[in-house]
Amino acid sequence: MAALTQDRDTPFREDKLYVHPVAAGAVIYFGALIVLNSSGYAEPATTATGKKGLGRADAAVSNAAGADGAVTVPIRRGCFRFANDGNVTRAHIGGSAYAVDDQTVAPTDGTSTRSAVGTIRDVDALGVWVEI
């Protein structure tokens, strides 16, 4: 496609809510930390490599008996408080958050066993605020 030679009404959307197809066998709970697997399907975060942070599940869905993409899940992007694995401190603010499971994050990749899912924005007594 050639460069513009006149104004263009470029479509946009707020970077908040997306709908993704769900991986086969996945059960997703509302509020879960969701990742994109290597095949391009949404699933709950686990301790694994090669995943990409998508956001927080905005609904509960089950694809327990379905094939890849048989159902979809709305996923919200933003800054969310997840559980602290006990190792995230204020010194980690601005660094990467790594998935331990679908509600817990850590400040390290666990010796190359975890995927980065977002950026640590704050730490408080109740958990870790992660921007995804």
The confidence score (pLDDT) of residue 95 equals 98
- Average pLDDT (25-37) is 98
Total-model pTM: 0.91
Which domain covers residue 114, as residue numbers? 79-131
67 in the same domain as 34: yes
- Total number of domains in the chain: 2
Is 11 contained in some domain? no
Please write the tens of the pLDDT for every residue from 42-81.
999 999 999 999 999 999 999 999 999 999 999 999 999 9
Which of 14-18, 32-36, 51-55, 92-96 is predicted least confidently? 14-18
Q: Band the pLDDT of 32: cuts 50, 70, 90.
A: very high
The confidence score (pLDDT) of residue 42 equals 98
pLDDT at 103 over 90: yes
Contact at 8 Å (CB) between 129 and 79? yes
DSSP string, 11-49: ----TTEEEEEBPTT-EE-TT-EEEE-TTS-EEE--S-S
Is 84 contained in some domain? yes
The two three-digit tokens of residue 58, written as one number? 């905005």
94 in the same domain as 69: no
pLDDT at 13 over 90: no
What residues are paired with 64 via a beta bridge? none
pLDDT at 104 over 90: yes
**Contacts of 22 by beta carbon, 8 Å cutoff, 6+ apart:** 28, 41, 42, 43, 61, 63, 66, 68, 69, 70, 71, 72, 73
The confidence score (pLDDT) of residue 15 equals 81
121 in the same domain as 97: yes
Q: Band the pLDDT of 12: cuts 50, 70, 90.
A: confident
83 in the same domain as 64: no
118 in the same domain as 86: yes
pLDDT at 26 over 90: yes
